[in-house]
Amino acid sequence: MKRVQIHTLTKDQKNNIILVMLVLLIFFAMTILSPRAFLRPANLKGMAVQFPEFGILSFGMMIAMISGGIDLSLVGIANLSSIVAAVVMLQMGDSVFSIVLGILASLFIGALCGVFNGFLIGYLKIPAMLVTLCGLQLYSGLGLAITKGPALTGLPESYGEIANGAIIGGIPNTVLIFLVVAVAVAYLMRSTVYGSHVSFMGTNEVASKYSGINNLKVTMYTYIISGLMGSIGGILISSHYNSAKSDYGKSYTLLTLLIVVLGGTDPSGGKGNILGVSLAVIVLQMISSAFNILRVNSFVKTFVWGLILIGVMLVSRVIDTREKQERNAK
């Protein structure tokens, strides 16, 4: 049986191994520091309900970043689309049909926001960071205008079961939804023409254009898919609280950025893998849960997220530079 040599592993494989080790390290550390609080069923269920929310948003961020762009508007899209869904359900009454119609309306709004972002970025050539940062404010503002401030409550009880219920073997619905979306995104990025085109465009936009790839079309698809990820995340968030509000998940923008970079996605574009991002989601959820159990101040938590993000990017840059030097030396 052949042994796997460390130097023969790809960068993604090394990164995934490190993330698995981090998951195990955090788990064993918390079982020693606070076993009753960390391992109690309520805490484990809380983590299982919460991580798919920002996990699915992270998939949208990953796809945008692979394309060479970024999507900072995801939380705004999530809240606006869930508010529209809530308005539809409140108007239609408590029925399965109203829930289905609300979800479809949410997905439509997410895709529409993606079209708007993609048009400004791909056609008008406005930098993605500016477009999506302004988009975050725009979509949040539209949501606030609809709700007039307070949360929209009184949604159908069955809608709340999407995030808070469990159908198969006691596994939370949110986990199953997360897995389905993860598999779908993995297939999209690894086994479709779009996946190869978006990676090529993210690596070298000029070369992509001259090779015959329609960069505008790829950019539009990218932000539409990202918008759909935002609306799915918004459905889970609003279902979790069984209400919709314009400022839910305010911390998720920084969190999704951190997850995507920690998961091995290249901030410059062209590279990223769904397994790494999924593992990073679990790592960050476990750290967040540990912070809550240890009663770490929320301001300190935000500082730590930013510090980790900068640290990961610095380490990634050093590794990339070293690998380039080694290739040039050969």
Tens digit of pLDDT for each residue in 40-86? 888 888 888 888 999 999 999 999 999 999 999 999 999 999 999 99
Give me the number of domains the chain comprises. Answer: 1
Percent of the chain having pLDDT more than 90? 56
Q: Where is pLDDT greater, at 111 or 24? A: 111
Q: What is the pLDDT of residues 211-223, one digit of tens each?
A: 999 999 999 999 9
* Domain membership flag for residue 226: yes
* Domain membership flag for residue 185: yes
Angstrom distances, CA of residue 106 to CA of 13, 113, 136, 277, 298: 36, 11, 16, 24, 31
* Domain membership flag for residue 316: no
Q: Where is pLDDT greater, at 9 or 130? A: 130
The answer on pLDDT for 1 being more than 50 is no
* Domain membership flag for residue 194: yes
The answer on pLDDT for 6 being more than 60 is no
- pLDDT reported for residue 8: 64
Mean pLDDT computed over 250-261? 89
Mean pLDDT computed over 295-318? 78
> Do residues 229 and 281 touch, judged by C-beta distance below 8 A?
no
- Smallest Cα–Cα separation from 272: which of 186, 171, 163? 186
SS3 letters across 76-122: HHHHHHHHHHHHHHHHHCCCHHHHHHHHHHHHHHHHHHHHHHHHHHH
* Domain membership flag for residue 145: yes
- pLDDT reported for residue 66: 96
Vertex 86 angle, CA 85 and 90, to 5°: 120
* Domain membership flag for residue 189: yes
Which pTM does this prediction carry? 0.90
Judged on CB neighbours under 10 Å (0-12, 13-18, 19+), 78 is buried
Least confident piece of the model among 25-34, 111-120, 126-135, 182-191: 25-34
Mean pLDDT computed over 238-252? 90
Q: 288: Cβ–Cβ under 8 A, 6 or more apart, which residues? A: 301
- pLDDT reported for residue 296: 79
- pLDDT reported for residue 127: 95
* Domain membership flag for residue 329: no
Would you place residue 5 in the very low, low, confident or very high pLDDT band (cuts 50, 70, 90)?
low
- pLDDT reported for residue 266: 86
Helices 74-92, 41-66: axis angle to 10 degrees equals: 120
In the 8-state DSSP scheme, what is residue 6? G
The answer on pLDDT for 3 being more than 70 is no
* Domain membership flag for residue 173: yes
Long-range pairs for 38-47: beta carbons < 8 A, 24 or more residues apart = 38/289, 38/290, 38/293, 43/289, 43/293, 45/172, 46/289, 47/285, 47/286, 47/289
What is the extent of the structural domain holding 96?
58-288
The answer on pLDDT for 269 being more than 80 is yes
- pLDDT reported for residue 327: 67
- Supply the mean pLDDT for the chain: 89
